[in-house]
Amino acid sequence: MAIQSINPATGEVIKTYEADNPEEVNRKIEAAEKAFESWREVSFKERAKYMHRQADILEQEAEKYGKIITLEMGKPLKDAIAEVKKCAKACRYYADNAADFLKDEIIETDASKSMIAYEPLGVVLAVMPWNFPFWQAYRFLAPALMAGNIGLLKHASNVPQCALAIEEIVRNSGFPDNVFQTLLISSKDVEAVIKNPVVKAVTLTGSEGAGAQVAEIAGREIKKTVLELGGSDAFIVLDDADLDKAAEVAVKSRMVNTGQSCIAAKRFIVVESIADAFIEKMKAKMANLITGNPLTDETDYGPLARKDLAEDLEKQVKASVEKGAEVVLDGGRNGNDNAYFNPMILKNVKPGMPAYEEEMFGPVAAVMVAKDENEAVKIANDSRFGLGGAVWTQDKERGLRVARKVETGAMFVNALVASTPEMPFGGVKKSGYGRELSYLGIREFVNQKSIWVA
């Protein structure tokens, strides 16, 4: 099977790769198993040296690697460069903190000595998506390697250059051979990798369906999983919010990565008394965004990552409009022969519509009007997803109260929802389980061993 790298802005096939055959996959897994024998014994201090070198490369060659991201999945180059540099931040965070996060934890008991020891599991498979092709991978890579694990990456099939570039960066940082490897395989080949006894755990960022399949396979094999799945984040605007600031951040949150982000705001729940004013401000700002060649500085948003994604989003919009949603800002497909999709705003969005029930993975904002704060919370929680969310109010205590009521893995008060190395990242309900980042993320793939000395 051939794996193609296609530029979504032009439709051009950039490169074609032959997929790894089963024998090559098994060779890589065996090499990973052997690498673990020695890597687990390397000190945190030595691991940190390699990780800091990796951060240096990411910072120094951010434009080079950012361009690969842009050419493969279409995000503006300035955003792609920022993504690469953010990966360097994660590398330094875990290089500097892993030893403390995983040091023996002394527990007071009636033993002469008792503790929790944090020990690496071994070979961990990461199944990663295309929307943040570097950041998603590094959220796994940095903590996993610093914990003493070995990484295998099965990246999305439309970003093979990114996958191989990450492997190149790890190699050029001086890490020992086979501590991190890319598997160029299709989704149907993932099951065999999970079943391989060498592989001890799996982490996946992706769709709800993909997460369910991976969890089922890993469950039968009794292997640990962490799943970061879809999101339909609520952006709650209360009646005392700063509407100018809220509208500005609302547009940024909906349009980040051309709307292709799990934690992009998707459902805008606005209190009735200020709904019209907020919608007009949001519409004005969103209508002024510029699209075009993602390699140029003036471009605010590029194409979606693939033409079929634009087609799917168009179907969701049409179905919602047919059920009564009203188009406030008209956009949509920019021709049927490409992956571009101009931003849209829908209002009068109700239960039963795709815009209400499903994740809209592209630049479509669904506006829902609530009578008051309590109804806003009720609408926010009326979703099978629970990844992130935001609430806007000039009363911070009120914001904190609402934040505690919304069923998500993260809530931001008067701020853009974002992931950062210091804070745990993950969801509840159909958005998955487990956590990435923070000290919680590095502890997901270690054996939390109790040691008791009589």
Strands (E), 7-90: 13-18
Please provide the DSSP assignment of 249-289 as one string: HHHHHHHGGGG--TTSEEEEEEEGGGHHHHHHHHHHHHHT-
Helix H segments across 188-274? 190-195, 208-220, 243-255
* CA dist., res. 431 & res. 205, Å (int): 10
- Cα-atom radius of gyration of the chain, to the nearest Å? 22
Beta bridge partners of 346: 327, 366
| CB-CB neighbours of 339 under 10 Å | 27
Token duo for residue 108: 């007071």
Degrees, nearest 5: CA angle 248-252-254? 115
Given a contact cutoff of 8 angstroms between Cβ atoms, the answer to whether 74 and 9 are in contact is yes
Token duo for residue 123: 């070979």
Distances (CA, A) of 348 to 286, 323, 332, 352: 19, 10, 18, 12
Degrees, nearest 5: CA angle 397-402-405? 130
Given a contact cutoff of 8 angstroms between Cβ atoms, the answer to whether 165 and 65 are in contact is yes
By annotation, the residues acting in catalysis are 228, 262
Phi, psi angles (nearest 5°) of residue 101: -65, -30
- Type of residue numbered 398: R
Distances (CA, A) of 218 to 29, 97, 213, 226, 328: 17, 30, 9, 10, 44
3-class DSSP state of 50: helix
